[in-house]
A = this chain, B = another copy of it.
Amino acid sequence: MPTKYLLDESQMPTAWYNIQADLPEPLPPVLHPGTHQPVTASDLEPLFTPALIEQEMTTEREVEIPEPVREIYKLWRPAPLYRAYGLEKALGTPAKIYYKYEGVSPAGSHKPNSAIPQAFYNKEAGIKRLTTETGAGQWGTSLSFAGAHFDLDVTVFQVSVSYQQKPYRRAVMETYGAKCVASPSELTEFGRQVLAETPDHTGSLGIAISEAVELAVKDPDTKYALGSVLNHVLLHQSIIGLESMQQMEMAGDWPDVIVGCTGGGSNFAGIAFPFIGQALRGGQKSRVVAVEPSACPSLTRGKYAYDYGDTAHMTPLTKMHTLGAHFTPPGFHAGGLRYHGMAPLVSHIKELGLFDAVAYTQKQCFEAGVIFARAEGIVPAPEANHAVKGAIEEALRCKREGKEEVILFNLCGHGHFDMAAYTAYFAGQLSDHEYSEEELAMALSGLPSL
């Protein structure tokens, strides 16, 4: 039996899948931050090009992947699907474990799946520059890579604490020719305002988003790019699940359980939505599990409510599972999962009861990641360790119950730029934070009243 299932480039999907076509209830509308009325396409034009706005709003089931995007996808796609023989053996489980590996992209994660089309549509529209934010750096790296391909200037606002702590991610962005700035910065009014109040502010994703948005709004040649949360980002990531479906068929198996980790929701949606959609259309149903960090528990302990995406309240209001736009999670190492909100589509589908969510602490997740690395060779990113932990828990349940279930999870990235976190884990320096009800209630008290 093969260890990995590879698709030929000719088998790469030619269209992304949009789950909005198959939902029993439509997504609640996005609201304008000023008027609180549903946004129109023109409201979004200062931020995004028309092609991406159309993708944000469409309910068509299939959206064609442009040929130039497919050409660049081929640098790493189709991505491999592995049978985790080593992990199965290490756990002694009767379950069959498969994982889709998105760490083969040049940026090391699933993020280029959306960065490439976002850069492409902006280039097509004559845009000269993209702005974005990044935390740990996965998304900033990916957009920098995409910018190099489509000859766009890219300015990345990196959360200051990460900018200082992770110089190597920044070095990758600069290698691709992007400009990486510590946020809060002197480049924007909002950044200067934050620095005037707190000169040594360590930054947050919410502030970095506000800065990136501000620059885009001010210059017609500049647009904003977001790496998760939005419908069009989730659409682009559907290629993960679409390929996985073909590969599971090659393997002659079908997942009983699908596991993904959730921060903003894009890699989880990428693997899960094509399967959920097929089940909604009458196909075989898989149980789907989202795994999030206990220290940023938007799906398991957040409120499903309208909230802002950023700190300066410049973004539209979306209905989502949120911990409040001013919620600042502790500095745990899965930087990609430290966002206060959840993708509106993921949140809506959670409310429809189409998947379960669980939360684990970072120590539990690193323990799982080390087991995985020793058994399978790949050192997962701290974010991906949450999916690994979820899959291991399912495999151990199968062992207890004597069930030969098929488990599929998304290994969304490698941990090459996160080894300091592993060092801290081995040195016993990681701490876990579980929020009290009072702490979460306080964070949520700032939600906008509509």
Q: Is A201 an interface residue (CB 8 A)?
A: no
Task: Tell me if B416 and A71 are in contact (CB < 8 A).
Answer: no
- A426 beta carbon closer than 8 Å to chain B: yes
Q: Given A75-B3, A373-B176, is A422 in contact with B171 using a C-beta cutoff of 8 Å? A: yes
Taking the closest CB of chain B, its distance from the CB of A159, in whole angstroms, is: 18
Least Cβ distance of A368 to chain B in Å?
A: 12
**How far is it, in angstroms, between the C-alpha of A349 and the C-alpha of B4 when the chains are bound?**
37
- Cα(A417)–Cα(B169), bound, Å: 10
A92 within 8 Å of B (CB atoms): no
Residues of B within 8 A of A377 (CB): 75-76, 105-107, 145, 148-149
Chain B residues positioned under 8 Å from A169 (CB to CB):
419
A146 smallest CB distance to B (angstroms): 10
A445 in contact (CB, < 8 A): no
Flag whether A378 is at the interface (Cβ < 8 A).
yes
Inter-subunit contact A175/B370 (CB<8 Å) = yes
27 contacts between A and B (CB under 8 A): A2-B9, A3-B74, A3-B75, A4-B74, A4-B75, A6-B6, A75-B376, A75-B377, A76-B377, A86-B149, A105-B377, A106-B377, A106-B379, A145-B377, A148-B375, A148-B377, A149-B377, A167-B419, A167-B420, A171-B422, A174-B426, A175-B370, A175-B374, A175-B419, A175-B422, A177-B374, A417-B419
Task: Determine whether A439 belongs to the interface, using a CB cutoff of 8 Å to chain B.
Answer: no
Roughly how many angstroms separate A74 CA and B2 CA in the complex, as a whole number? 8
Within 8 A of B (CB), among A135-150: 145, 148-149
Complex CA gap A177/B74 in Å reads 35
The 3 closest A-B pairs by CB, nearest first: A106-B377, A168-B419, A416-B416
The contact string, 1 if C-beta is below 8 Å from chain B, for chain A 374-398, is 1111110000000000000000000
**A108 CB within 8 Å of chain B:** yes
Interface: A364 (CB within 8 A): no
A 64-91 to B, binary, CB cutoff 8 A, 1 in contact else 0: 0000000100111000001000100000
Whether A379 and B419, one on each chain, are in contact in the complex, defined by CB atoms closer than 8 angstroms, is: no
Query: Considering only CB atoms, which chain B residue lies closest to A422 in the complex?
Result: B171
A379 adjacent to B71 (CB under 8 Å): no
On whether the beta carbons of B3 and A175 are closer than 8 Å, the reply is no
Question: Is A312 interfacial (CB-CB < 8 Å)?
Answer: no
Q: Given A4-B9, A74-B4, does the pair A423, B374 have CB atoms closer than 8 Å?
A: no
CA distance A172 to B420 in the complex (A): 10
Q: Which residues of B contact A3 (CB under 8 A)?
A: 9, 71, 74-75
Interface membership of A53, Cβ < 8 A = no
Cβ contacts A147-189/B at 8 Å (1 or 0 each)? 0110000000000000000011111101111000000000000
B residues less than 8 Å from A197 (CB atoms): none
- Which residues of B sit under 8 angstroms from A39, Cβ to Cβ? none
A71: nearest chain-B partner, CB-CB: B3
Q: Does A438 sit within 8 A of B, measured CB to CB?
A: no
Q: With an 8 A cutoff between CB atoms, is A437 at the interface? A: no
Tell me the bound Cα distance from A349 to B105 in angstroms. Answer: 37
Q: Which residues of B contact A401 (CB under 8 A)?
A: none
A26 to B133, CA, bound (A): 60
Q: Does A25 contact B (CB under 8 A)?
A: no
Is A249 in the interface zone, CB < 8 Å from B? no
Q: How far is the CA of A169 from the CA of B106 in the complex (A)?
A: 19
In the bound complex, do residue A148 and residue B374 qualify as a contact, i.e. CB atoms below 8 Å apart?
A: yes
A149 to B378, CA, bound (A): 12
Chain A 1-21 interface mask (CB, 8 Å, partner B; 1/0): 011101011000000000000
- State the Cβ distance, A65 to closest chain B Cβ, in Å: 15
Which residue of B is nearest A369, CB measured?
B175
Task: Tell me whether A104 is interfacial, beta carbon within 8 Å.
Answer: yes
In the complex the two chains form, what is the Cα distance from A75 to B176 in whole Å? Answer: 29
